[in-house]
Amino acid sequence: MKVITFLGVVVAVVFAGPNFRARADTAVVPAEFANLPGDTPNLFPLFPGAGSPLRYQQVFRASDFPPGAIEITQIAFRPDSANTVPFNGTIPQIQISLSTTSSGVDAISTNFADNLGSDLTVVYPMAPLTVASSATPTGSGTRAFDLSIPFVTPFQYNPAAGNLLLEVKNFQGGTAAPFSTTEVDASVSSADATSRLVNFGNANGATGAADSVGAIIELTYTNIAMASVSRTVPDHVVVVLCENHSYGDIIGNSNAPNFTALAAAGANFIAAPTDSEAASSGSHGVRHPSQPNYLELYSGSNQGTIQDGHPGTTSEPFSTAPAFTTPNLGAALRNAGYSFATYSQSLPSAGFDGDAATKVPGQNQYERKHNPVANWVNDTNPVGNFLPASVNQPFTTFQSIGAGPGSFANLPTVCFVVPDEQNDMHDGSIAQGDTWLKLNILDTYLAWAQTHNSLLIVTFDEDGDNTPSNLIPTVFAGPMVRRGNYYEMNLNAANPDTGSPTDPGIQTPTG
Give, as one character, the DSSP assignment of residue 100. E
Does residue 59 contact residue 211 with C-beta atoms inside 8 Å?
no
d(CA 63, CA 209): 25
Query: Structural domain boundaries of the chain?
Result: 22-224, 233-506
Does residue 408 contact residue 414 with C-beta atoms inside 8 Å?
no
d(CA 290, CA 437): 20
Name every residue whose Cβ is closer than 8 Å to that of residue 160 and which is 6 or more positions away in sequence: 62, 67, 68, 504
The radius of gyration of the chain's CA atoms, rounded to the nearest angstrom, is: 27
Q: What pTM was computed for the model?
A: 0.58
Closest CA to 69 of 510, 411, 501, 505: 501
Give the pLDDT of residue 178. Answer: 54
Does residue 469 contact residue 188 with C-beta atoms inside 8 Å?
no
Alpha-carbon torsion (133, 136, 141, 146), positive or negative: negative
d(CA 129, CA 400): 60
CATH class of 233-506: alpha beta
Does residue 52 contact residue 201 with C-beta atoms inside 8 Å?
yes
Does residue 74 contact residue 153 with C-beta atoms inside 8 Å?
no
d(CA 417, CA 359): 19
Give the pLDDT of residue 103. Answer: 95
d(CA 160, CA 299): 37
Give the pLDDT of residue 280. Answer: 55
φ, ψ for residue 488, nearest 5 deg? -60, -50
Give the pLDDT of residue 270. Answer: 80
Please give the distance of CA 487 from its chain centroid, rounded to a whole number.
10
Does residue 210 contact residue 104 with C-beta atoms inside 8 Å?
no
Does residue 223 contact residue 500 with C-beta atoms inside 8 Å?
yes
Give the pLDDT of residue 447. Answer: 96
d(CA 83, CA 60): 25
Give the pLDDT of residue 490. Answer: 40
Does residue 131 contact residue 88 with C-beta atoms inside 8 Å?
yes
243-271 pLDDT, tens digit per residue, is 878 888 998 999 999 999 999 888 888 87
| Per-residue burial over 87-119, b = 16 or more CB atoms within 10 Å of its CB, e = otherwise | bebebebbbbbbbbbebebbebbeebeebbbeb
Give the three-state DSSP class for 46: coil
Low-confidence ranges of the chain (pLDDT < 50): 1-5, 7-8, 11, 16-22, 176, 227-230, 489-511
Name every residue whose Cβ is closer than 8 Å to that of residue 252 and which is 6 or more positions away in sequence: 260
